[in-house]
Amino acid sequence: MIRYLHIDSPVGRLLLAAGEAGLCAIEFPSNRHPVVRGEDWHAGENPVLLATRRQLDEYFAGQRRQFELPLSPSGTGFQRQVWAALATIPYGQTLSYAQLAARIGQPSAVRAVGAANGRNPLPIVLPCHRVIGADGSLTGFGGGLPTKRFLLQLEGALPGEPDLFA
């Protein structure tokens, strides 16, 4: 059974979902690739959701740089490999898609890495916002580019104060 709840955050209302194996989804208010919800999804809390809410609150308050949660994202083997590599990008730092492809040992798979990054079901926790264009530009993000800019400014990876409406 998957439990889910909604929380308010500086980047809008987020949906959090977790099963017995761990956190399986974080969704922004308008998500490009929403997680498929089955009959086993029910509103409510569980210990993983409560820990996720607390850790996200700490992250947005500038008190947490790394998440310590059991994760259970659904995806292909390649997607999970890319998502695991996202977890290795340090707080406040960025990588290009090409650098991420090289990091997983597949330097010619830049487009596939970009597609897997875009399907990340656990944004923020698996920090796909830290992946940028080779020229330093902010490229696609499921939560929208203003949200990506906000998260990177929050972490100090971009100059300026975090402002979701900038």
Our answer to whether residue 128 is catalytic in this structure is yes
Q: What are phi and psi of 101, to 5 degrees?
A: -60, -45
Of the pLDDT bands very low, low, confident and very high (cuts 50, 70, 90), residue 95 is very high
Instruction: Indicate whether this model's pTM tops 0.85.
Output: yes
* Res 39: pLDDT: 82
**What span, in angstroms and rounded, lies between the C-alpha atoms of 35 and 61?**
27
Does position 115 have pLDDT exceeding 70, yes or no?
Answer: yes
Q: Give me the catalytic one of 128, 131, 132, 152.
A: 128
User: Average pLDDT of 63-74?
Assistant: 96
The domain spans of the chain are 2-60, 77-154
| C-alpha gyration radius of the chain | 15
Look up the CATH architecture of domain 77-154.
Answer: Orthogonal Bundle (1.10)
77-154: same fold as 2-60?
no
Range with the poorest average pLDDT among 28-32, 131-135, 157-161: 157-161
Q: Enter the CATH code of domain 2-60.
A: 3.30.160
Mean pLDDT of 64-81: 96
Q: So what's the pLDDT on residue 159?
A: 67
Q: What pLDDT score does 140 carry? A: 80
Contact 121, 35 (CB under 8 A): yes
The reported pLDDT for the residue numbered 162 is 59
Across 119-141, average pLDDT? 92
